[in-house]
């Protein structure tokens, strides 16, 4: 589900929970709202609110760390691609076809990472890109070395390509998001409970309606940030593809 749609759904859900709590309050007798009862409600909702705040903060921190990890990995991957191209250039014209294949493969990989493809089409293209990765690895291994120096260049190129493959696999894993859906569902459930108790214990007036609206907007924004950080290649907060595009322009140039 799109992050914007899901966040809007959460916004409506928590506001509906507050409205339901307020409606239930209007149907109950006044003795249900004695000070001792309200104090117990505050303790209960305080516990759930604390748990929700902890989970939200941990998810945001984890998402930011994951985003930084992917960003660093892609920058390193771009530098490694340039190093590989410079290494292959030592083989002269015999490696020009391989260098062109690597450039085309790299461009396709960048386009796929930042595309909106999901499900079966994404899985199919992932398999094709990985197969191309294996083919390139075989071509590097099959390079004919004219002497000991080119043998060292070939071995170094194999090491660089292994490093590139590891970076690609990391990007593939983070592209689809790593936060478990049940965890998000539990968090939303806690927020619904919190707003329901808020609506049940608060007086019915326009001031409280504004407060509920602002609180719902704040919590929904936090949920949106969590989901957005979990998908580093789409959304408002994402990694930059500028280093990769710069590397793509450089690859294959003599």
- For 152-208, give the DSSP string: HHHHHHHHHHHHHHHHHHHHHHHHT--S-HHHHHHHHHHHHHHHHHHHHHS--SHHH
- At residue 235, the pLDDT reads 78
The string of pLDDT tens digits covering residues 215-250 is: 999 999 999 999 888 888 887 888 888 889 999 998
Q: Which of 94-108, 114-128, 178-192, 207-221 has the lowest mean pLDDT?
A: 114-128
Q: pTM score, two decimals? A: 0.79
| Domain boundary assignment for the chain | 3-250
What's the CA gap between 67 and 200, in Å, rounded? 39
- At residue 1, the pLDDT reads 56
- At residue 254, the pLDDT reads 64
What are the percentages of helix, strand and coil residues in the chain, rounded to 5?
Answer: 85, 0, 15
Selection from 222, 212, 227, 228 nearest residue 14 by Cα: 212
Angular region, 216: left φ>0, alpha ψ -120 to 50, beta rest: alpha
């Amino acid at each position: 589900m799109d992050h914007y749609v899901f966040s809007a759904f959460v916004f409506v859900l928590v506001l509906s929970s507050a409205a339901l709590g307020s409606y239930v309050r209007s149907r109950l007798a006044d003795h249900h709202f004695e000070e001792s009862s309200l104090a117990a409600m505050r303790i209960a909702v305080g516990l759930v609110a604390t748990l929700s705040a902890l989970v939200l903060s941990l998810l945001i921190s984890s998402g930011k760390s994951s985003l930084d990890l992917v960003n660093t990995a892609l920058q390193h991957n771009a530098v490694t691609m340039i190093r590989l191209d410079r290494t292959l250039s030592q083989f002269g014209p015999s490696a020009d076809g391989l260098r062109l294949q690597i450039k085309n493969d790299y461009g396709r990989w960048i386009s796929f990472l930042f595309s909106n493809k999901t499900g079966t089409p994404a899985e199919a293209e992932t398999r094709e890109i990985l197969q191309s990765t294996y083919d390139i690895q075989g071509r590097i291994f099959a390079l004919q070395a004219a002497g000991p120096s080119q043998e060292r260049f070939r071995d170094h190129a194999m090491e660089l390509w292994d490093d590139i493959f590891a970076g690609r696999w990391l990007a593939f894993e983070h592209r689809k998001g790593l936060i478990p859906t049940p965890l998000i569902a539990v968090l939303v459930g806690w927020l619904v409970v919190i707003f329901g108790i808020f609506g049940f214990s608060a007086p019915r007036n326009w001031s409280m309606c504004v407060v509920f609206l602002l609180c719902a907007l704040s919590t929904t924004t936090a949920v949106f940030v969590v989901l957005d950080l979990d998908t580093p290649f789409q959304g408002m907060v994402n990694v930059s593809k500028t280093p990769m595009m710069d590397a793509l322009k450089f690859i294959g140039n003599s």
